[in-house]
Homo-oligomer: A and B are copies of this chain.
Amino acid sequence: MAIAKKIKASMSNSSMIRKMFEEGAVLKKKYGADKVYDFSLGNPNVEPPAVFKKQLIRLAEEQIAMKHGYAPNAGFAETRQAIAAKINITYGLKLTADHIVMSCGAAGALNVIFKSLLDPRDEVIVLKPFFVEYPFYVTNYGGVVKFVKTKDDFSLDIEAIGKAIGRKTKAIMINSPNNPTGRVYSRKNIMELAALLRRKSREYDQTIYLISDEPYNEIVYDNIKVPGVLQAYANSIVAYSYSKTLSLPGERIGYIAVNPKLHEAHELITALILCTRILGFVHAPALMQRIVVKLQNAAVDVKIYKKKRDLLCAGLAREGYQFAKPEGAFYLFVKSPIPDDVAFVKMLLKKNILVVPGSGFGCPGYFRIAYCVDDKTIINAIPGFAEAIRECS
């Protein structure tokens, strides 16, 4: 066989999200793009804030010596300094530039974190439903994923997590606001998790890391506040991306923030910088590092997403769909009217509606709607959703 056996196995079992995306391309060719309601990908249709374009033009025109040259592996000191300052103001903490390592988005950040932390067969707890890429990020470095279900309302099931922690547990990953559920874990829920991790770390006499994937940190509704993980737990690491906050997922820019109180923080930071280098990222794209330093207080207009959420939730509730109203991110995780979510997703496909089966997130019986699309797409898709649920009853 030409390619690696492990990769061959992964290929035959590839992402359901991408599969839907490809089905969508076929449908769009056949019926025209405006006749297909594509809710498959979390690719925001909202424009970046105006100040981003302004900064990009300014920077493009500016004369800076070696503007596009190599950056330090950790990223430019000025950018890391600005990010540390922003985190400190938001959460009342004391990070310095040294606690920040710039990354190629959150996906790059998580790979660098796991490469730095995991010895073969170390276990990482991943919560169901989960973002489809998480298991790859863990197994890439020889780690073993231990899945734990969240509660029916998609909040953290502290008891179940406690049972899953053992001698081999190196870390637990959380993602709040959550993809695919839109759930934001409450402060109480986070505090309970932190207490559990402290207790279990003592019990097994080893550090259990809390890795918080936070690309949707700024996309929250109804004045909900996302509790700060760095405040709650010393051995915490944040993976952040500007993809959603600034609507530029194509530009691959984010960062890792290491808690200053983390056990052997300096050693971990040195490892993160080394792994950024040797995994071939080398460093996060220089141009974007020079831009985000100026945009620490910029964000897309969340009201635009809120309108989409409300349109979608009202439309689907009226037709009898069941779901928990998202508190953040731009996904709705809906109960499938029939137990077989893949079959229901195929029924929706016949209405030219593309969504992703919950099975793809380790949670059969549900499907995910990515509502970062035109309002019109939402409005025009409701009749199709209505027909599909009626056909099930």
Contact = CB atoms under 8 A, between A and B. Distances in A.
Interface of A: 2-8, 10-11, 14-15, 18, 41, 43-45, 48, 53, 56-57, 59-61, 65-71, 73, 104-105, 107-112, 115-119, 133, 136-137, 140-141, 207, 247-252, 263-264, 267-268, 270-271, 274-275, 277-288
A271 B4 contact: yes
Contacts of A140: 115, 278-279
Contact of A282 (B8, B207, B252, B278): B252
Contact of A110 (B117, B249, B252, B280): B280
B41 A8 contact: no
A330 to B, nearest CB: 13
Contacts of A48: 68
Contacts of A270: 11
Contacts of A69: 43-45, 247-250
Contacts of A41: 70
B68 A264 contact: no
Contacts of A274: 7, 10-11, 14
Nearest 9 interchain pairs by C-beta: A250-B286, A111-B280, A68-B248, A107-B280, A136-B278, A2-B264, A108-B280, A56-B60, A3-B271
Contacts of A141: 4
Given A3-B117, A264-B2, A8 B43 contact: no
5 contacts: A69-B248, A69-B249, A70-B250, A250-B287, A285-B288
A69 B11 CA distance: 25
B279 A279 contact: yes
A98 to B, nearest CB: 15
Nearest to A265: B2
A280 B115 CA distance: 12
Given A2-B268, A4-B271, A280-B105, A60 B53 contact: yes
Given A111-B279, A251-B286, 5 more contacts: A10-B274, A53-B60, A71-B250, A108-B282, A109-B280
A250 B283 contact: yes
Nearest to A109: B280
Contacts of A43: 66, 69-70
B7 A115 contact: yes
B71 A8 contact: no
A271 B11 contact: yes
Nearest to A61: B57
Given A69-B250, A70-B43, A115-B7, A133 B285 contact: no
Contacts of A53: 60
A116 B3 contact: yes
A274 B71 CA distance: 27
A247 B67 CA distance: 10
Contacts of A65: 45
Contacts of A275: 7
Contacts of A5: 119
B68 A267 contact: no
B7 A137 contact: no
